[in-house]
Amino acid sequence: MNKLGFARKEKVQQFMSVTGASEKVAIQTMKTHDWHLEGALEAFYNEGNAKAVQEKNRWEVLFNKYKDPKADMIMADGISNLCNDLQVEPQDIVMLVLSWHFQAETICEFSKQEFIGGVQSLEIDSLEKFKKKIPFLRSELKDEDTFREIYNFAFDWAKEKGQKSLALETAIGLWQLFFAEMQWPLVEHWCQFLEERNMKVISRDVWLQLLEFAKTVDSTLSNYDAEGAWPCLLDEFVEYLIENGHCGKKSDE
């Protein structure tokens, strides 16, 4: 479904949430009915899809197990309880991968539509199936394109509502998760550099370009191009590494 446009993704999620149909059935039905939601829904029920409605009840039960008692959504406490049941830590990167699958808008929150649409797309209708899906979610980080998508997703997901930038403390926590997966040797130097500069927030450009820097520039800076189109902050980071002897490049080069 990641290949669909935003509007069509939203319609598919709505169709799945209402009917309990799988992602495959939702997309096929929507296509058949020219992406008109009401027509697709009417056709779905006219075809007597009672089994899908029964499946929806299982997803509802799963959602209700973790939803906040005061709101029709899963909040931080519910996510913590879900983590306990899945036997993973809340700060485990696999929960970020899960949030990406759910297309969650906000960190530590799952709306009903996000959660039910997400578990449907992952073909999860019980806690046991949820547990069995964890290794698959973790393995997705090994795919370079998927890793990049999840990394890019994390910026909007983690920033505070209404803000254009990401708080430094939050960014550092996420970088430590992502770059532990990549085994980027300069991540701790990068975080220390930002803290010494008393940075408060991280822009989207720096967030996106850092991943490219970590993927393309050798940790010794042997292939660093000073004339490249890196953000100024990354150029200053290179100067910081050289001045503090954290790389193999000499200051007179």
Look at the block and give the residue holding tokens 């983690």. Answer: 158
What pLDDT does 253 receive?
A: 41
Contact 130, 25 (CB under 8 A): no
Residues 6+ apart with CB under 8 A from 222: 248, 249
Phi, psi for residue 202 in degrees, rounded to 5: -120, 130
pLDDT over 80 at 47, yes or no: no
Mean pLDDT check: name the lowest of 40-54, 145-159, 217-231.
40-54
- Measured distance CA(159)–CA(168) in Å, rounded: 10
User: Is the pLDDT higher at 39 or at 249?
Assistant: 39
What pLDDT does 248 receive?
A: 53
> Average pLDDT of 230-253?
79
- Measured distance CA(232)–CA(238) in Å, rounded: 10
Q: 173-205 burial string, b = 16+ CB within 10 Å, else e? A: ebbebbbeebebebbebbbebbeeeebebbeee
Question: C-alpha angle with apex 8: 3 to 122, nearest 5 degrees?
Answer: 60
**Amino acid sitting at position 47:** E
62, containing H or E segment? helix 50-66
- pTM for the whole thing? 0.76
How do residues 14-32 score in pLDDT, each as one tens digit? 888 777 777 888 888 889 9
63, containing H or E segment? helix 50-66
**Alpha-carbon distance values, 203 to 37, 121, 168, 171, 221 (Å):** 37, 32, 10, 10, 23
